[in-house]
Protein backbone atom coordinates (compact mmCIF):
# COMPACT_ATOMS: atom_id res chain seq x y z
CA UNK A 1 0.00 0.00 0.00
CA UNK A 2 2.81 2.38 0.91
CA UNK A 3 4.68 1.54 -2.27
CA UNK A 4 1.62 2.25 -4.42
CA UNK A 5 1.04 5.55 -2.65
CA UNK A 6 4.64 6.61 -3.11
CA UNK A 7 4.51 5.63 -6.77
CA UNK A 8 1.37 7.69 -7.27
CA UNK A 9 3.00 10.68 -5.57
CA UNK A 10 6.06 10.37 -7.80
CA UNK A 11 3.88 10.14 -10.91
CA UNK A 12 1.87 13.16 -9.81
CA UNK A 13 5.03 15.16 -9.33
CA UNK A 14 6.54 13.97 -12.59
CA UNK A 15 3.45 14.45 -14.75
CA UNK A 16 1.62 17.24 -12.90
CA UNK A 17 0.69 20.72 -14.07
CA UNK A 18 4.04 22.35 -13.35
CA UNK A 19 5.94 19.53 -15.02
CA UNK A 20 3.69 19.78 -18.06
CA UNK A 21 4.28 23.55 -18.28
CA UNK A 22 8.01 23.13 -17.94
CA UNK A 23 7.88 20.43 -20.60
CA UNK A 24 6.06 22.79 -22.96
CA UNK A 25 8.47 25.65 -22.42
CA UNK A 26 7.79 29.35 -23.03
CA UNK A 27 4.86 28.77 -25.38
CA UNK A 28 2.95 26.68 -22.83
CA UNK A 29 3.65 29.17 -20.07
CA UNK A 30 2.46 32.04 -22.28
CA UNK A 31 -0.77 30.22 -23.11
CA UNK A 32 -1.36 29.27 -19.47
CA UNK A 33 -0.77 32.82 -18.18
CA UNK A 34 -3.03 34.25 -20.90
CA UNK A 35 -5.89 31.98 -19.89
CA UNK A 36 -5.39 32.73 -16.21
CA UNK A 37 -5.66 36.46 -16.95
CA UNK A 38 -8.75 35.90 -19.11
CA UNK A 39 -10.39 33.90 -16.34
CA UNK A 40 -9.53 36.43 -13.62
CA UNK A 41 -10.90 39.36 -15.63
CA UNK A 42 -14.03 37.38 -16.52
CA UNK A 43 -14.82 36.61 -12.88
CA UNK A 44 -14.17 40.23 -11.91
CA UNK A 45 -16.61 41.46 -14.57
CA UNK A 46 -19.25 38.93 -13.54
CA UNK A 47 -19.09 39.87 -9.85
CA UNK A 48 -19.07 43.64 -10.43
CA UNK A 49 -21.91 43.45 -12.95
CA UNK A 50 -23.93 41.24 -10.63
CA UNK A 51 -23.63 43.81 -7.85
CA UNK A 52 -24.45 46.67 -10.22
CA UNK A 53 -27.51 44.90 -11.60
CA UNK A 54 -28.66 43.98 -8.11
CA UNK A 55 -28.76 47.65 -7.12
CA UNK A 56 -30.76 48.60 -10.22
CA UNK A 57 -33.24 45.76 -9.74
CA UNK A 58 -33.76 46.81 -6.13
CA UNK A 59 -34.51 50.36 -7.31
CA UNK A 60 -36.97 49.02 -9.88
CA UNK A 61 -38.97 47.45 -7.07
CA UNK A 62 -38.79 49.33 -3.78
CA UNK A 63 -37.57 52.61 -5.25
CA UNK A 64 -40.30 52.84 -7.89
CA UNK A 65 -43.02 52.16 -5.33
CA UNK A 66 -41.68 54.92 -3.07
CA UNK A 67 -41.45 57.25 -6.07
CA UNK A 68 -45.10 56.87 -7.03
CA UNK A 69 -46.14 57.24 -3.40
CA UNK A 70 -44.58 60.74 -3.38
CA UNK A 71 -46.55 63.93 -3.90
CA UNK A 72 -44.64 65.17 -6.97
CA UNK A 73 -41.83 64.21 -9.34
CA UNK A 74 -39.10 66.24 -7.65
CA UNK A 75 -39.93 64.79 -4.26
CA UNK A 76 -40.07 61.31 -5.76
CA UNK A 77 -36.64 61.72 -7.34
CA UNK A 78 -35.15 61.99 -3.86
CA UNK A 79 -36.46 58.51 -3.07
CA UNK A 80 -33.80 57.11 -5.38
CA UNK A 81 -30.11 57.04 -4.53
CA UNK A 82 -27.93 59.71 -6.11
CA UNK A 83 -26.20 58.68 -9.35
CA UNK A 84 -28.51 55.67 -9.63
CA UNK A 85 -30.16 54.50 -12.85
CA UNK A 86 -33.76 55.44 -12.03
CA UNK A 87 -32.68 58.73 -10.46
CA UNK A 88 -30.98 59.55 -13.76
CA UNK A 89 -34.19 58.81 -15.65
CA UNK A 90 -36.20 61.18 -13.46
CA UNK A 91 -33.54 63.90 -13.54
CA UNK A 92 -33.31 63.69 -17.33
CA UNK A 93 -37.10 63.89 -17.62
CA UNK A 94 -37.18 67.02 -15.45
CA UNK A 95 -34.34 68.52 -17.47
CA UNK A 96 -36.16 67.77 -20.73
CA UNK A 97 -39.29 69.46 -19.39
CA UNK A 98 -37.26 72.53 -18.49
CA UNK A 99 -35.40 72.62 -21.80
CA UNK A 100 -38.56 72.38 -23.88
CA UNK A 101 -39.60 75.85 -22.81
CA UNK A 102 -36.27 77.24 -24.03
CA UNK A 103 -36.52 75.85 -27.58
CA UNK A 104 -36.66 78.50 -30.30
CA UNK A 105 -38.40 76.30 -32.87
CA UNK A 106 -41.72 74.89 -31.80
CA UNK A 107 -41.58 71.14 -31.13
CA UNK A 108 -44.20 68.83 -29.74
CA UNK A 109 -43.57 68.39 -26.02
CA UNK A 110 -44.53 64.73 -26.08
CA UNK A 111 -41.99 63.99 -28.80
CA UNK A 112 -39.27 65.99 -27.08
CA UNK A 113 -39.87 64.27 -23.74
CA UNK A 114 -40.01 60.82 -25.35
CA UNK A 115 -36.76 61.29 -27.28
CA UNK A 116 -34.97 62.68 -24.20
CA UNK A 117 -36.03 59.78 -22.01
CA UNK A 118 -35.11 57.30 -24.72
CA UNK A 119 -31.60 58.74 -24.88
CA UNK A 120 -31.36 58.39 -21.11
CA UNK A 121 -32.43 54.74 -21.27
CA UNK A 122 -29.94 54.01 -24.05
CA UNK A 123 -27.10 55.54 -22.01
CA UNK A 124 -27.97 53.41 -18.97
CA UNK A 125 -28.31 50.23 -21.04
CA UNK A 126 -24.94 50.91 -22.64
CA UNK A 127 -23.34 51.31 -19.22
CA UNK A 128 -24.91 48.08 -17.95
CA UNK A 129 -23.58 46.27 -21.01
CA UNK A 130 -19.99 47.38 -20.45
CA UNK A 131 -17.66 44.40 -20.12
CA UNK A 132 -20.10 41.81 -21.47
CA UNK A 133 -18.35 41.85 -24.84
CA UNK A 134 -15.18 40.69 -23.08
CA UNK A 135 -17.07 37.76 -21.54
CA UNK A 136 -18.38 36.78 -24.96
CA UNK A 137 -14.89 37.02 -26.41
CA UNK A 138 -13.40 34.87 -23.65
CA UNK A 139 -16.16 32.30 -23.99
CA UNK A 140 -15.63 31.97 -27.73
CA UNK A 141 -11.82 32.16 -27.91
CA UNK A 142 -10.46 30.42 -24.81
CA UNK A 143 -11.22 26.89 -26.10
CA UNK A 144 -9.16 27.71 -29.19
CA UNK A 145 -6.34 29.11 -27.06
CA UNK A 146 -6.37 25.85 -25.12
CA UNK A 147 -6.49 23.95 -28.41
CA UNK A 148 -3.30 25.73 -29.46
CA UNK A 149 -1.59 24.30 -26.38
CA UNK A 150 -3.05 20.90 -27.23
CA UNK A 151 -1.65 21.01 -30.77
CA UNK A 152 1.77 22.03 -29.48
CA UNK A 153 1.77 19.21 -26.89
CA UNK A 154 0.83 16.56 -29.47
CA UNK A 155 3.45 17.94 -31.83
CA UNK A 156 6.14 17.62 -29.15
CA UNK A 157 5.03 14.05 -28.45
CA UNK A 158 5.34 13.15 -32.13
CA UNK A 159 8.78 14.72 -32.33
CA UNK A 160 9.95 12.65 -29.34
CA UNK A 161 8.60 9.47 -30.87
CA UNK A 162 10.23 10.21 -34.19
CA UNK A 163 13.58 11.16 -32.66
CA UNK A 164 13.84 8.20 -30.29
CA UNK A 165 11.83 5.62 -32.14
CA UNK A 166 10.32 4.73 -28.77
CA UNK A 167 6.59 5.27 -28.20
CA UNK A 168 6.64 4.13 -24.56
CA UNK A 169 4.45 5.97 -22.08
CA UNK A 170 7.32 7.58 -20.22
CA UNK A 171 8.50 9.25 -23.43
CA UNK A 172 5.20 10.79 -24.50
CA UNK A 173 3.33 11.19 -21.19
CA UNK A 174 4.73 14.69 -20.62
CA UNK A 175 3.75 16.25 -23.96
CA UNK A 176 0.42 14.42 -24.10
CA UNK A 177 -0.33 15.44 -20.51
CA UNK A 178 0.47 19.04 -21.41
CA UNK A 179 -1.94 18.80 -24.35
CA UNK A 180 -4.79 17.46 -22.21
CA UNK A 181 -4.20 20.01 -19.47
CA UNK A 182 -4.36 22.91 -21.94
CA UNK A 183 -7.63 21.59 -23.34
CA UNK A 184 -9.12 21.32 -19.85
CA UNK A 185 -7.98 24.81 -18.87
CA UNK A 186 -9.52 26.26 -22.02
CA UNK A 187 -12.88 24.71 -21.14
CA UNK A 188 -12.66 25.77 -17.49
CA UNK A 189 -12.16 29.36 -18.64
CA UNK A 190 -14.81 29.28 -21.38
CA UNK A 191 -17.78 27.65 -19.63
CA UNK A 192 -18.18 30.17 -16.74
CA UNK A 193 -17.68 33.08 -19.15
CA UNK A 194 -20.43 31.86 -21.49
CA UNK A 195 -22.84 31.10 -18.64
CA UNK A 196 -22.12 34.43 -16.97
CA UNK A 197 -22.59 36.31 -20.24
CA UNK A 198 -25.98 34.72 -20.93
CA UNK A 199 -27.19 35.26 -17.36
CA UNK A 200 -26.09 38.89 -17.20
CA UNK A 201 -27.62 39.58 -20.61
CA UNK A 202 -30.95 38.18 -19.42
CA UNK A 203 -30.86 40.38 -16.32
CA UNK A 204 -30.02 43.41 -18.46
CA UNK A 205 -33.09 42.70 -20.61
CA UNK A 206 -35.22 42.53 -17.47
CA UNK A 207 -33.81 45.86 -16.29
CA UNK A 208 -34.44 47.42 -19.72
CA UNK A 209 -38.08 46.25 -19.63
CA UNK A 210 -38.62 47.73 -16.17
CA UNK A 211 -36.98 51.02 -17.13
CA UNK A 212 -39.14 51.21 -20.26
CA UNK A 213 -42.28 50.66 -18.20
CA UNK A 214 -41.24 53.28 -15.65
CA UNK A 215 -40.42 55.81 -18.37
CA UNK A 216 -43.79 55.27 -20.04
CA UNK A 217 -45.58 55.84 -16.74
CA UNK A 218 -43.45 58.89 -15.96
CA UNK A 219 -44.04 60.32 -19.43
CA UNK A 220 -47.79 59.98 -19.07
CA UNK A 221 -47.72 61.47 -15.58
CA UNK A 222 -45.69 64.54 -16.57
CA UNK A 223 -47.58 65.17 -19.82
CA UNK A 224 -50.94 65.06 -18.01
CA UNK A 225 -49.84 67.27 -15.11
CA UNK A 226 -50.33 64.38 -12.71
CA UNK A 227 -53.75 63.28 -13.99
CA UNK A 228 -52.42 59.97 -15.33
CA UNK A 229 -50.79 58.11 -12.50
CA UNK A 230 -50.00 54.37 -12.25
CA UNK A 231 -51.57 52.46 -9.43
CA UNK A 232 -49.30 51.87 -6.46
CA UNK A 233 -49.53 48.52 -4.77
CA UNK A 234 -50.66 49.09 -1.23
CA UNK A 235 -49.17 47.10 1.63
CA UNK A 236 -51.17 44.04 2.59
CA UNK A 237 -53.39 44.81 5.61
CA UNK A 238 -52.61 43.00 8.84
CA UNK A 239 -54.75 39.95 9.48
CA UNK A 240 -57.58 40.58 11.92
CA UNK A 241 -57.14 39.01 15.33
CA UNK A 242 -59.14 35.86 15.78
CA UNK A 243 -61.64 35.84 18.66
CA UNK A 244 -60.58 33.84 21.63
CA UNK A 245 -62.03 30.36 21.78
CA UNK A 246 -64.69 29.82 24.41
CA UNK A 247 -63.62 27.73 27.35
- Is the pLDDT at 5 greater than 80, yes or no? no
**Is the pTM for the entire model greater than 0.85?**
no
Q: How confident is the model at residue 151 (pLDDT cuts 50, 70, 90)?
A: confident
Better pLDDT: 13 or 130: 130
End-to-end CA gap in the chain: 75
Better pLDDT: 125 or 229: 125
What average pLDDT does this structure show over 70-92?
A: 86
Strand, helix or coil for residue 103: coil
pLDDT at residue 241, rounded to an integer: 42
pLDDT at residue 242, rounded to an integer: 46
- Is the pLDDT at 230 greater than 80, yes or no? no
Task: Quick: pLDDT tens for 13-72.
Answer: 555 566 666 666 677 788 888 889 999 999 999 999 999 999 999 888 888 888 888 888
Better pLDDT: 62 or 245: 62
pLDDT at residue 190, rounded to an integer: 93
Better pLDDT: 16 or 200: 200
What average pLDDT does this structure show over 159-185?
A: 70
Better pLDDT: 203 or 11: 203
Rounded to the nearest 10 degrees, the angle between the axes of helix 26-58 and helix 169-223 is 20
Number of other CB atoms surrounding residue 224 within 10 Å: 10
What is the overall mean pLDDT for the chain? Answer: 79
**CA–CA separation, 115 vs 225, rounded Å?**
19
Better pLDDT: 201 or 92: 201
pLDDT at residue 221, rounded to an integer: 83
Distances (CA, A) of 115 to 17, 86, 90, 217: 57, 17, 14, 15
What average pLDDT does this structure show over 179-191?
A: 86
Q: How confident is the model at residue 192 (pLDDT cuts 50, 70, 90)?
A: very high
Least confident segment among 35-44, 94-103, 164-173: 164-173
Number of other CB atoms surrounding residue 86 within 10 Å: 24
| % of the chain with per-residue pLDDT over 70 | 74
Amino acid sequence: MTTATEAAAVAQKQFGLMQALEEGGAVSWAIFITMVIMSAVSWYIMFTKLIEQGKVLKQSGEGVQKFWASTNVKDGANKFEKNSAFRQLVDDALLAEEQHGKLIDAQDQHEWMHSSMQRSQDAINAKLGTGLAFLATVGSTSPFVGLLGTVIGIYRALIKIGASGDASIDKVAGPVGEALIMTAIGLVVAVPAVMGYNWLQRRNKLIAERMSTFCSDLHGYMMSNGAVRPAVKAAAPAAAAKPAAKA
